[in-house]
Amino acid sequence: MSGKLKRIFSNEMARLLAITVVIFVLMTILRPSSFFSVSNITSMAFQMPEIGLLALAVTLSFITGGMDLSLVGIANLSAICAGLALSSMTQNAGSGLLVSLMIVLSIVISLAIGAVCGLLNGFLVSKLKVIPMLATLGTMQLFTGIAMIITKGSSVIGLPVQFSVFGQSSIAFIPVPMLIMIICAISVFYLLDKTKLGIELRLIGTNEKAAVFSGIAVNKAKMLSYMYGGVIAAVAGIIMMSRVNSAKADFGSSYTMQSILVAVLGGVSPSGGKGKVAGVVLAVCVLQFLSSGFNMLRVSQYAKELVWGLLLILLVSIMVLSERREST
C-alpha cells in the first residue's frame, strides 16, 4: 500500500488533486455550516474565474521562460476602454437588440486592446530582448497610467444592465464567469498541447537555442504567446467590470501575485517549458478554498497577503530545487 501511495504522490497532478481535496475537507470541518453550503460554493464559483483567467495568461508567458506582470493593467485598461465606449454608445440606445450589438462591439474593443497590449509586451521581450520581468513591469505602469489619465482616477459607470450577464448570471446553475473560464482553459490547453505553436512555445521555454537551430520563428512565437495572454487578461477585465458594474484603473491590485502563485502552484515552471492547464485549474480551486476559508475564520487581509507571499516563496524554492535535482 505504501508503494502505491508513493507512486500516486510522485505524480504532480495526483499530488495537487490530493492537496485540493484535503484543503476542502479541512475548511469544511472548521466551518461546516458556512463553508460547505450552496451559497458559499456558488460565491466561490463566481470569484475564482478572475484569478483563474489571469493565471492562464501567466502560464502562456511562463511556458516560454518569460513573465508577464502587466496582466492586471491590461485587464483594467481594456475594461475601462470598453466601459467608456459602451456607456457612451448606449446612453440613448434604449434597450433590446441595439444594446446587445453595442455590448458585442465593446467586447471586441476590449479584446483588441488586450491583443495590442500583449503584442507590445511580446515586441519588447522578443525583438528588443528586454528582460521579461522589467519589460512587463514597465508596461504595467504604462497601462495603469493610461487608464488613470483616461478616467482621471475615477470609476467608469453607467453600464447597461444587460452587461451584468457576464459577471453576475448563471446558466443551468453554473455561473457564466465559470463557463467563460472553462472555455478559456480548454482553448489554452488546446493551444499548448495540440497545436504546432504550443509545441514550439514549450521548446522555446526548455531550450531557446535549440529552438532557433530547429528553425522555429522564436520571436513570432513569443509575440503570439504574449498576445494571447493579453486577450485572456482582457476577458478577465470584462468579467471584473461586469461583476461590480464598473471599471477602475487600480482594481485587483493583489491579483498579480495571486495569479503567479496559482500558476506556480499548478506546476507551471517559471523557467519555461513545463506546465499543465489542468494543474492551473486545480491550483485556482486551492487558492479559492483557502481564501474563502480564511474569510470565514476572520483572518485579516494583511495576514492573507503574508501567507500568499510565503507560499509563493516556498513553492518557487521547491520547484527550483526539484529542477536542479532532475538536471544532475
Structural domain contains residue 66: yes
**What DSSP assignment string belongs to 10-27?**
HSHHHHHHHHHHHHHHHH
pLDDT at 148 over 50: yes
Residue 4: is its pLDDT beyond 60? no
Q: Residue 128 falls within a domain, yes or no?
A: yes
In this structure, of 57-66, 232-241, 242-251, the range with the lowest mean pLDDT score is: 242-251
**CA atoms of 153 and 315, how far apart (whole Å):** 36
Phi and psi of 66, rounded to 5°? -105, -160
CATH of the domain at 120: 1.10.3470
Range of the domain at 262: 39-327
The answer to whether residue 48 is domain-embedded is yes
Q: What percent of the chain has pLDDT over 70?
A: 94
Q: How many domains does the chain have?
A: 1
Determine the pLDDT at residue 9.
47
Nearest by Cα to 62 from 226, 210, 200: 226
Nearest to 63 by CA among 212, 288, 266: 266
The reply to whether 31 falls in a domain is: no
Q: Note the pLDDT tens digit of each residue in 110-119.
A: 999 999 999 9
| Res 181 pLDDT > 50 | yes
In a domain, 24, yes or no: no
Beta carbons of 54 and 230 less than 8 angstroms apart: no
- Decide if 110 is inside a domain: yes
Quick check: is 255 in a domain? yes
What is the pLDDT of the chain when averaged over all its residues?
Answer: 88
* Predicted local distance difference test score (pLDDT) of residue 311: 80
CA nearest 67: which of 142, 134, 145, 138?
A: 134
User: Does the pLDDT value for residue 109 go beyond 90?
Assistant: yes
Half-sphere exposure of 200 (CA within 13 A, CB side): 18
Whether 47 is in a domain gets the answer: yes
